[in-house]
Amino acid sequence: MTELVEHRVCEDRISSLPDDLLVKILLCVPTKDAAATTFLSKRWRFVWRMLPRLNYIETTSDVKSNTVWWFLEESFRFHKAPLLERLWIDLGPQCPINVNPVKWYQARAPPASNVGPPLLDTRVRWLTFRLLWKGEPIRMPKSFYFCKTLERLTLSDKILVDVPCQVSLPSLRELDLFCVVYKDEDSHVKLLSSCPVLKHLKVTRNRRVEDNVRTFRVEVPSLLRLDYKAGMMFREDSDMSDPFLVTDTPNLLSLHIFDTVGYSLSVWYMPHLVTVVTDELFPSEKFMRPLSSVKYLALSPFDTMVPWCDAVNYSRLVECMIHLSEYDLLESLLVLLSKCSKLKVFLVDSDIPRWNHDPALWNQPSSIPRCLSSHLEIFE
């Protein structure tokens, strides 16, 4: 009897806490467990519905396991928080292909419940949607492209980016397009043009999937950081002379390009560029010359950059990291250093075996690059 009384006292103490504190407690547990508290008592019935962050994530890739879709279908329509800081939905191969996997975006509670949730268009700030079901790529609802509150967005895998003629994402600052499919060549262009305050764009393209885009164009004046990664795009009509990535981002500060294809890149003048990290195998003049204003540069592999060592003057470069694959490139390396008058940090990574070096291949330089004797502080 004493144990029962103590249990009730403990329960009453928790239940007597204000709603905002109970919400913070529920944020510490998985969304599914938080939703289950609705059955504890009348006091807890509606608390979870005010959570500002919801995660509907498949916990396993086993197609025979239960899918999180059914929990999403039954619970999300009852959620009614006026502000949703983050909504993360990850549907795996367990998701049935006879359902609408984006139904949640326009969720409505049953008419008799009188607890219809506000539209996501007016309350979600951060949305991550990953779809790995066995069905075809799915379109997002048209209303999705008019979300006024959305600040961060990730679309991943089997999602078809089909942008309507009229589109507006006025608050979007970060966009991650991971291995999605585009309706046509202009879909991503229309999407980017609808984001007037976009600061960070991350694009990953899948070498195993035809995404319907030959040239990926990034024309965003507000953009500060661009991350681009792509593998071999399989196209019967592909032309290696066509630009694979075209950027017109005059305010860009950071550029990260991992493009193992060797297609051409066209990069417009970027006077504010500070950081560049790239493993571009076949750089062109249109790609290398705009990098002259950078302060931090990482090149891998260095041997593909040799033709441009003497062509570009890195007058602002203070930190450089390269990957060296051949000792024969040491002379070209000195040429590069001669173009870096303000270099302070120089890091060299190499996978060349020490016993594979023939000293006879090394020609003593007639002069030492100025940065080595005046500005260089760290060399590793």
Q: What is the CA angle 359-363-369, rounded to 5? A: 120
Residue extents of the structural domains in the chain: 2-234+242-275, 295-353+366-380
Give the separation between CA 234 and CA 289, rounded to whole angstroms: 29
Give the separation between CA 233 and CA 240, rounded to whole angstroms: 11
Give the separation between CA 115 and CA 49, rounded to whole angstroms: 10
Q: Among candidates 96, 227, 90, which has minimal Cα distance to 155?
A: 90
Give the separation between CA 35 and CA 302, rounded to whole angstroms: 54
Per-residue model confidence as pLDDT tens for the chain (380 residues): 455 545 555 556 777 788 889 889 889 999 888 888 888 877 888 888 899 999 999 877 655 668 899 999 888 888 888 889 999 999 999 999 999 999 888 765 445 445 455 567 778 999 999 999 999 999 999 989 999 999 999 999 999 999 998 899 999 999 999 999 999 999 999 999 999 999 999 999 887 788 999 889 999 999 999 999 886 554 555 555 555 788 899 999 999 988 655 556 777 778 888 998 877 655 666 677 777 788 998 877 666 666 666 667 888 888 988 877 665 566 777 777 777 888 888 888 876 655 555 555 556 666 667 776 677 888 87
